Amino acid sequence: MDGWQQHRGAVEALLTSFRAIGEGEPVRLAKRTSNLFRPRAATGAPGLDVSGLTGVIAVDTDAATADVQGMCTYETLVAATLVHGMIPFVVPQLRTITLGGAVTGLGIESTSLRHGLPHESVLEMDVLTGSGEIVTATADNEHADLFAAFPNSYGSLGYATRLRIRLERVPGRVGLRHVPFEDADAACKAVHEIAETGSWDGRRVDAVDGTAFTPGDIRLSLAEFTDAPVETSDYTGQQIYYRSVGERETDALAMLDYLWRWDTDWFWCSGAFGAQHPVVRRLWPARWRRSDVYHRLVGLDARFGVSRVLDRVRGIPGRERVIQDVELPLSAVPEFLAWFDAEVGMRPVWLCPLRTTRAWPTYPLTPGEVYVNLGFWGTVEVPADAPAGLVNRRIEAEVHRLGGHKSLYSEAFYDRETFDGLYGAEHLDAVRRRYDPAGRLSTLYDKAVGNS
């Protein structure tokens, strides 16, 4: 069975499952895994059958495009394209992020300064709407309104069943320079220069991200895609990538290992499970050192409360999970980091510069302007009587004050008026009225803040 024939069968199974959901029942995915970090209200209703929508339909090596099913993970997608010497324009850091999820939920990575976000390399997509139809949306056809509003809609406008994306031809290796800066101002000036020239210190920069270890130790990791015969490192075994950023000036990785350099240790978060301890690491099977395993461990901890018991033993009155990615204008990054150090005190912080190529109504960033994604993931101690989301609410307010936005994959606490203004609710509502007139899908606010 060829890829297109299999895909047609999978779409028919999806439509059959849609029709089986009772009128008035919520429409949502029957999906076992997730990269979200917000709770979801449980329902007894059946979900959409997306089990057949997990593959790559076809790769067109001449056009440098791929037709990909919506639930295909980037791990599967990269495996299918890299054998042809190509990768998606933007490959998010974690293997099990799906293409459909990255487009509707705003993925990002180190090529985003050149290529924007994953949805900006989408040429067309088939979307199952709330009315139960499959429509093909492009930037300039009769469904251009859906195409434009789909990024950052998190399933509130429907689910992508197929996406045609552009691919980039790449060599087999990546040379790295981990350039140190003594403060955020100096690092941001370097990002500005790289954005303007595409180079640093006379050498091309194909990808850039950064690790802010302390206020006085910020490293920009500058990547140059190359076929030069260089010796490459391996961070899938005993060595840990994020530590190398602070310890080495230069490095090299195979292209595949570069794409998944952050996945093995979930950036630096694997340390919370002991996976960075030399003894534990030798005993921890390599196939289980990956982000989706750690994510499941977090879920088990939330279910059984092991951390809460340990906190009581240690005398910690309360703890709040702070797992967020925010986008700020480049000029606002130093001020935010100074505030963050004073009010939150969590390090390292991941830095990833980006530029969008056009205006997207549900995540309104100025096209061409340089922004920086700041990612911080962990927990902080709070008073026992602290209101829900105490620290996260403060972060939201500061990001808003500085003209930024935050990604909605994690918990959000905005009031309705603020949320609607930040995330283009008026435009979303107009598109929803066209494609989901009966309101079968949850609204973006209900999903992101109400956790529906």
User: Average pLDDT for residues 66-91, to the nearest whole number?
Assistant: 97
Residue 163 and residue 40 share a domain:
yes
Residue 118 and residue 256 share a domain:
no
Confidence band for 30, pLDDT divided at 50, 70 and 90: low
The CA-atom distances, in angstroms, between 127 and each of 14, 369, 406, 446 are 12, 30, 25, 21
Tens-place pLDDT, residues 393-406: 999 999 999 999 99
Complete DSSP assignment for 125-191: EEEE-TTS-EEEEETTSTTHHHHHH-TT-TTSS-EEEEEEEEEEE--SEEEEEEEEESSHHHHHHHH
Residue 335 and residue 232 share a domain:
no
**Residue 30 domain boundaries:** 3-170+430-448
8 A C-beta contact, residue 35 and residue 295: yes
Distance CA 194, CA 330 (A): 12
* Token pair of 27 as six digits: 């429409």
Residue 133 and residue 211 share a domain:
no
Say whether 348 sits in a helix, a strand or coil: coil
Tens-place pLDDT, residues 92-101: 999 999 999 9
Tens-place pLDDT, residues 182-204: 999 999 999 999 999 999 999 99
Residue 109 and residue 13 share a domain:
yes
Residue 165 and residue 39 share a domain:
yes
8 A C-beta contact, residue 399 and residue 422: no
In this structure, what DSSP letter does residue 366 have? Answer: P
Residue 17 and residue 118 share a domain:
yes
Confidence band for 412, pLDDT divided at 50, 70 and 90: very high
What pLDDT score was predicted for residue 301? Answer: 73
Tokens 């999906």, located at residue: 31
User: Average pLDDT for residues 134-152, to the nearest whole number?
Assistant: 97
pTM score of the predicted model: 0.93
8 A C-beta contact, residue 347 and residue 269: no
Residue 326 and residue 223 share a domain:
no
User: Average pLDDT for residues 437-447, to the nearest whole number?
Assistant: 92
Q: Is residue 268 part of a domain?
A: no
Residue 332 and residue 184 share a domain:
no
Residue 350 and residue 311 share a domain:
yes
Tokens 């789909």, located at residue: 150
Q: Is the pLDDT of residue 383 over 80?
A: yes
In this structure, what DSSP letter does residue 73 have? Answer: B
Residue count (the chain): 452
Task: Please give the tally of structural domains in the chain.
Answer: 3
Residue 177 and residue 160 share a domain:
no
Distance CA 431, CA 190 (A): 40
Residue 335 and residue 216 share a domain:
no
What CATH number should be reported for the domain holding residue 364? 3.30.70.2520
Tens-place pLDDT, residues 290-349: 998 988 888 787 777 767 767 677 777 788 899 999 999 999 999 999 999 999 999 999
8 A C-beta contact, residue 174 and residue 226: yes
Tokens 């959000």, located at residue: 412
What CATH number should be reported for the domain holding residue 67? 3.30.465.10
